[in-house]
Structure 1
Amino acid sequence: MSITEYTPFQDPESLYKLNTELLAQVDLSGSNLLMSFTGFSDAGHVVTQISTELKEELTGEPVAVFDVDQLIDYRSRRPRITFSEDRLSDYRAPSLVLYRMVDALGTPFLFLTGSEPDLQWERFSKAVLGLVERFDVNLVAWVHSVPMPVPHTRPLGATVHGNRPELIEGISAWKATLEIPAAIGHVLEHKLDAAGRNVVGYAIHVPHYLSDAEYPPAAVAGLEFLGAAASLMLPSERLRETGRAVERQITEQVEGSAEVASVVTKLEKQYDEHSEGISRRSLLAGDNDELPDADELGAAVEAYLASRDSAAPKESPEESTGEPGKGRRD
C-alpha cells in the first residue's frame, strides 16, 4: 500500500462537528474557500494578522469546529495564559474552525483558520477534502509567509503555486526547485490538486530583517492576493493605516544606522537587477550567482532589532503595530 493510498483508521468526519442549524438555513454550494494556519513560518506575523482581520472585520458563523484535542500537541506548542499579580486569566486555547463569512460586497465565502495540526495530518486532510466535496467548493486559496533577503523599499513579492495558471503566471518573483519542510497547507494543496479541485497558494515574501515583528504591509499583500483569486472584497484599511506608522519607524531607524542603510541599499540593487531580467537563480542569489553572506545579512537583522528595541519606549502601542500596503498586483 503506497502513501498516497493511505486511508485513516478512524473516520475523518469524527474530527469535526457541523453547525447543522446554519446548514439548514444557508446553501454553501459553490463557495470559495480561504485557508490560513498559524504555527508554520509566519514571517511578519502575516497569517496571524490576516486571520485576526477577517474574524474581527467581517460577519462570520462557524460551519465546522474541529476537535483540537486530537490534533494539537500542547506540550510542544503551549497555549498562552496571563498571570496578573495573583490571578490567572485570558487562557488562549487553540482552535481550528471553518467559518462562513460575508465580504464587504455581501459575497459569502468559507474561511478555514486556526492552529496548524501537530497530529493526524492524513486524517485531517481527508476531513478537509470531505468538506470541500460536500460543499462543492469552487476554489481553495491559502496564504503563508517566508523571510526573504529583499528590501522593504520595493513592492512585496510572492511565490505562487497551484493548478490555476491564470492565477500564477507573471506573479511569482522567485521560482526554484527544492525540497522543503511541508506545512499542512502544502499537504492540503497537494491532495486537492490530486483530487482535481481548483487550488492556489501564496507565500508572501517578507524582508528578512522584519520577519520577527508584525509587518502589516505583508498582511495586506496576502489579503490582496486572496481577494483577487477568490473575487472577494477583503478588509485591509485598518492594516494600511497602522502600517503607515510602521513604515515611518522603519525609515527613521534605517536612516539612523549607516550599517543597516548599507545593507538595505545592497538589497535594493540586487532586487532591481533581478527585476530588470539579469539571469539569476532567484532573489536569493547575489553577484556571480552566489548567495549573500550570512554574516552580512545577520548583521542587518541584529542592527535593526537593536535599534527597534532602543526606540520602542518612545512609541505608543498604536504606533508600533503595522500596516499593509504595497502588495504586488498583477
Structure 2
Amino acid sequence: MNKFEFTPFHAPESLYALNEELLAAEDLRGANLIMAFTGFSDAGQVVTQIAGELVDHLDHEPVAIFDIDQLIDYRSRRPRITFTQDHLSDYKAPSLVLYRMTDALGTPFLFLYGNEPDLQWERFSSAVLGLIERLDVNLVSWVQSVPMPVPHTRPIGATVHGNRPELIEGISAWKATMEIPAAIGHVLEVKLAEAGRNVVGYAIHVPQYLSDAEYPPAAVAGLEFLGAAASLMLPSERLREAGRAVERQITEQVEASSEVAAVVTNLEKRYDEHTEGMSRRSLLAGDNDELPDADELGAAVEAYLASRDGESQGGTQTETETQSKSGPEGGLG
C-alpha cells in the first residue's frame, strides 16, 4: 500500500462550468473531439491559425468553460493589452473552452481550444477525461507544430502518434526513441490511451526559417490531417489563398538572396536524400500529389463517411491509398 495518499481538495469537475442542456444533446454522444492548445509549440502559428478558421467559419457554442484563473500563471505568461495614446484597451484575456461545432457537412464535433495550462495538469487532465467519458467521445485528435530543418519547397510533413494504427501507419517514418519536454496534449494523449480511448496526435513540421511568422500552408496541412482523422469537412480555403500569397513572397525573397537560396537548396538536397524511395499515405491527396479543391474535399469526406457507415453495418470497403502531400521528416518538438 502506498504510504503517501493525497486527500482530494478540489474535485476535477470544479475546474469548469457546464452548459448542461447542450451537454445532454444526443448528437454529441459519440462525436469526435479536436484539441488545440497555444503556449507550448506553435511554429508558424499553425495552432492559432487552425483555431481561428474553425471559430470564425463554423457554428459553435460553449459546452464547458474552464476556470482559467486556476490554470494560468499570469506573471510568467503575461496577457497582451493595447496602449493607445492615453488609454488602455483590447485586453486579451486567456481562455480555455470546450465548444460544440458543426462542420461544412453539418456533422457535430467538439473542439477544446485555448491556453495550455501552467498549473494543475493532473487535475485538468482528470477533468477533460471525465468530460470525454461522459460524452463517450469516439476519437480525440490534437495538433501542434514544430520547427524542422526542411525546405518550404517540399510537401508539409508531420509526425503522427497515438493508438490508432490506421491513422498513423504510412504517414510518418520517424521511429526514434527520445525524451522530450511534455505538453498538456502529450499528457492527455497518454492518459487517454491508458483509459482505452481512441487518440491520435499530429506534430506539423514547419520550415525552421519560417517558424516565427504565420505560415498558412502548414495550417492547411494540419486541418487536412484533423479532418481526415475525424471524418470532418473543415474550412481551409482562406488559408490556402493566404498560403499562395506567402509562397510568392518567399520565392521573391529567396531569388533576391544567393545566400538564402543556397540554404534552401541544401535543405532540399537533404530532404530528397531522406525521402528517396518512400511513399506516404493520405486520404485526401490526389494521384498527382496536388491538394484537392473544396468540391473534391467534400466528395472525399462524403465517400469516407459512407465507407464508415458500411463498415458499421457489417460491410467492408477498402480505402484507396494515394501519394500524400505529407513528407516523412520527423520530430515531436
TM-score range, shorter chain: 0.7 to 0.9
Aligned to 1:223: 223
Q: What aligned pairs does 1:131-150 form with structure 2 within 5 A after superposition? A: 131-150=131-150
Q: Is the 8 A contact 1:217 1:327 kept in 2?
A: no
Matched-pair contact (CA < 8 Å) for 2:12–2:124: yes
Q: 1:317 is matched with which residue?
A: none
Which position in structure 1 is the counterpart of 2:162?
162
User: Cα offset for 1:20?
Assistant: 1.8
Cα distance between partner residues in 2 of 1:27 and 1:210: 40
Q: Do the aligned residues in 2 keep the contact of 1:8 with 1:123 (CA within 8 Å)?
A: no
1:74 aligns with 2:74: yes
- Cα shift readout 1:106-135 (whole Å, capped 9, x = no counterpart): 000000000000000000000000000000
Q: CA deviation at 1:176?
A: 1.4
Structure 1 residue aligned with 2:114? 114
| Structure 2: tracts of 5 or more residues without a match | 279-323, 329-333
The equivalent residue for 1:300 is none
The residue number in structure 1 matching 2:326 is 328
Q: Is residue 2:193 matched to residue 1:193?
A: yes
Q: 1:102 to 1:261 in 2, by over 3 A?
A: same
Q: How does 1:94-105 map to 2 (within 5 A)?
A: 94-105=94-105
How many correspondences in the alignment?
Answer: 281
Q: Structure 2 CA distance, aligned partners of 1:36 and 1:137?
A: 16
Q: TM-score, normalised by structure 2?
A: 0.81
- 1:42-90, CA deviations, whole angstroms, 9 ceiling, x for partnerless residues? 1000001011110001000000000000000000111111111111111
- Is the 2:153–2:268 contact (alpha carbons within 8 Å) kept by the matching residues of 1? yes
1:229, 1:63 → 2: CA distance?
22
Task: State whether residues 220 and 327 of structure 1, in contact with CA within 8 Å, keep that contact through their aligned partners in structure 2.
Answer: no
- What is the SS of the residue equivalent to 1:144? strand
Residue 53 of structure 2: SS of its match in structure 1?
helix
Identity percentage over the alignment? Answer: 81
**Which portions of structure 1, spanning 4 or more consecutive aligned residues, are displaced by more than 2 angstroms?**
5-9, 21-27, 326-330
Say which SS state the counterpart of residue 242 (structure 2) adopts.
Answer: helix
Residues 256-296 of structure 1, C-alpha deviations (whole Å, 9 max, x = no match): 11111001101101111111159xxxxxxxxxxxxxxxxxx
Unaligned runs of 5+ in 1: 279-325
**Cα deviation, residue 23, structure 1:** 3.0
Q: Give the secondary structure class of the aligned counterpart of 1:106.
A: coil
Q: Per the alignment, do residues 119 and 8 of structure 1 end up closer, same or farther by CA in structure 2, a change over 3 Å counting? A: farther
Task: Check whether the contact 2:172–2:327 (CA below 8 A) recurs between aligned residues.
Answer: no
8 A Cα contact 2:43 2:206, kept in partner = yes
Q: Indicate the residue corresponding to 2:16 in structure 1.
A: 16
The whole-number CA distance in structure 2 between the counterparts of 1:266 and 1:36 is: 33
Q: 1:29 is matched with which residue?
A: 29
Shift in Å, 1:24? 4.6
Is contact 2:156–2:327 with CA below 8 Å preserved after alignment?
A: no
User: Structure 1 residues 137 and 25, CA, compared in 2 at 3 Å: closer, same or farther?
Assistant: closer
Task: Name the counterpart of 2:212.
Answer: 212
Aligned equivalent of 1:308: none
Aligned to 1:295: none
C-alpha separation between the residues in 2 aligned to 1:327 and 1:46? 17
| 1:233 counterpart residue number | 233
- Given that 1:224 and 1:327 are in contact with CA atoms closer than 8 Å, whether structure 2 keeps it comes out as no
Match of 2:300 in 1: none
Question: What secondary structure sits across from 1:94 in the alignment?
Answer: coil
Deviation, 1:165, is: 0.2
